[in-house]
Chain A
């Protein structure tokens, strides 16, 4: 068994991860209008690409060797950095797991026991995560295809509600709100970091398709935002989950509402993202423990389970875990600051060597 995945499979996983962030997007209280969101959808891709390219630079073996030489001469230091990565993954994992269960409890069935729901979901996630990166990646590929087809169907069935009057000129209220919104998107983009953690498990040529993939993902996202705006106008932004509202209004023939379909996509994508996070955490824990990581991974899962359980029973904890400001404060260093520092260190060392 080679335990390697193809770039297409890796990008499928990242697509899933990105689509979860999009579908679970909650509009921040900015008094923004629909055109601000469409404008933000256009500004965000270049910003995210610029931030991603820094991680992409760090993915070559030579550069990781320099980073190891500079930062990780001491094995303890390396373990500490890996531990921080695990903690970050714990946050992402917990956020997704609790989000998935809260969604299930609030939208699908209100009377279900939180412990049972969380236990079943966590068990399924563990089963998939421990099946190995190949199984997760293949599942991710099937998930991506299913997600794309479902979204295309939902958008198609919304076309009857498209109204050109909903369109407003871009930047009608100035550029500040779209820029702030696009920064929110940037702070929620953890995919380059996930790709960095996955790099050893992906075959070659991973860098080659990166820009094309990124363009494709953001095209889908821009198209979705545009359809949302065309179909629902400014009303969409008053909804807790705008994309869910979009699916509720979609109808085609005897299918009256598409929210069940979107819920399925949502659950599928969130589930795969959770499994990917757990798998990556397990990988890092293996490197920390220099061998079997069963105990550490069990502790990781137990902590995530407990936090999620607390979040399900206490809305304050849930809000804290999913607080956009806290998330932005934690995500931005990962997306921007860490790669900037590491790239600078690499460059300085390369110059010194010359």
Chain B
């Protein structure tokens, strides 16, 4: 166990220790925090000794600090008259219900103040007390937005990492659940929590994650996306790092030996390692009967392939492989395509580009306007473009189908969009030949993507029959519960 007090003393020795004189400490703090009008300095007299409360306006909870800090101190009948024993007395006899620690250096004091803590400095003492009375504005726990499930909990992570950790803790009542805090960002000092279950998660995996996080050198950590990029090596089409906004999913992942990373200020958690097949499973799959879960997963896999390949295949069929179509269908398509001014590849690219613009606008616009954008995009542009002969009706069907199927696996939407565009261009130049070569390269890229020796293509390749029980097929809980699955089984 690391002794926090010793660590803080060591830190103090390196970063400028507090003086015994309150006046000097106040002067130094005021100079360090000069220009910060939101810092509150409140001088007070405790048992005849000068004291100073420092905190950040709107970052601390006035109610908590009144009840937990000031109240017990001020209402105490006896307070020692010696400054050193006064600090000890307050630490022991007051504010017992909240997080508190002693700080020795100016750096730690400033960090504590800026984190929303209330800091108490006492004249004659070279240490101060820091009370965790934070009370900054935050969003309440709300419903999941991007991972909506019917039969499972609706709670989702919020921006407050403490709330997020609590959401995990309340689901896993085990002392094995370990939560380590790290601070990343030389300026932002963002708290990042590494959560795992001791004894289930591989120790090497945990230490590797911590090591990689420790190596992050940025001024400000903007969110979990930055963490993901530092954890991953190189660019790959599909990532070995997953995300979830659902605490129940995060807990289920940890039970299987994965590590979950929560970043302060980000309403989703990062999961490592993450398999490709996990993009197709939802919490609902485990609440439904296996047969329904199987149907849902088959639909998702089919939707993924349709969304990625359909526009490319359509372009290939129209441009190179007309012989593969039945005569009637070929005739209809040929008639429709003959009235459009663009080659089929450009037409497909154009309409996909328009669709992506409409989608992006719908996402970024205020919600009230978003639906209007969709209507304009869907009805007006689509209908009008067909009527004007700019695009063909079959093309509109292909685009609509590939767009809708793309939303069946929302976690992969961006990957699908990238692949779709690439495949449209490639199929326009080289038909099925190009599609095959490109898909070979994509699958090869997937095959070399992994985290700590666990490839994302597992358990399909390297094939593991035992682990196939919860991929496309979800076996019933009686069978699933007989043997526990651990992600380390996937190691190549």
Contact = CB atoms under 8 A, between A and B. Distances in A.
B447 A131 contact: yes
A263 B432 contact: yes
B475 to A, nearest CB: 21
Contacts of B438: 124
B444 A135 contact: yes
A9 B492 CA distance: 12
Contacts of B434: 120
Given A135-B445, A138-B455, 5 more contacts: A8-B462, A127-B444, A128-B440, A135-B448, A267-B436
A140 B448 CA distance: 13
Nearest to B464: A6
Interface string A35-56: 0000000000000000000000
23 contacts: A1-B453, A2-B453, A104-B430, A104-B433, A108-B430, A109-B431, A124-B437, A128-B444, A131-B445, A135-B444, A136-B447, A137-B447, A138-B443, A138-B457, A138-B462, A139-B443, A141-B462, A142-B460, A259-B323, A260-B321, A263-B432, A263-B433, A264-B435
Given A2-B453, A135-B448, A260-B432, A142 B443 contact: yes
A218 interface: no
Interface stretch (A228-236, A250-258, A285-293): A250-258
Contacts of B463: 6, 8, 141
Contacts of B325: 256
A138 B450 CA distance: 13
A94 B278 CA distance: 40
Given A9-B462, A109-B320, A264 B447 contact: no
B326 interface: yes
A109 to B, nearest CB: 6
B313 to A, nearest CB: 10
B460 A134 contact: no
A132 B462 contact: no
Nearest to A5: B462
Given A8-B463, A127-B441, A134-B448, A268 B431 contact: no
Given A142-B461, A268-B440, A272-B440, A132 B320 contact: no
B326 A271 contact: no
Interface residues of B, number: 31
B433 A108 contact: yes
B92 interface: no
A139 B448 CA distance: 10
Q: What are the 9 tightest A-B residue pairs by CB atom distance, in nearest-first order? A: A138-B447, A135-B448, A138-B461, A135-B447, A141-B461, A267-B436, A128-B444, A260-B324, A124-B437
Interface in B409-461: 430-438, 440-441, 443-445, 447-448, 453, 455, 457, 460-461
A121 interface: yes
A132 B448 contact: yes
Contacts of A272: 440
B447 to A, nearest CB: 4
Contacts of A259: 323-324
Contacts of B321: 260
Contacts of B4: none
B333 to A, nearest CB: 13
Contacts of A257: 323-324
Nearest to A107: B433
Given A267-B433, A268-B436, A254 B444 contact: no
A165 B457 CA distance: 47
B329 interface: yes
A142 B462 CA distance: 10
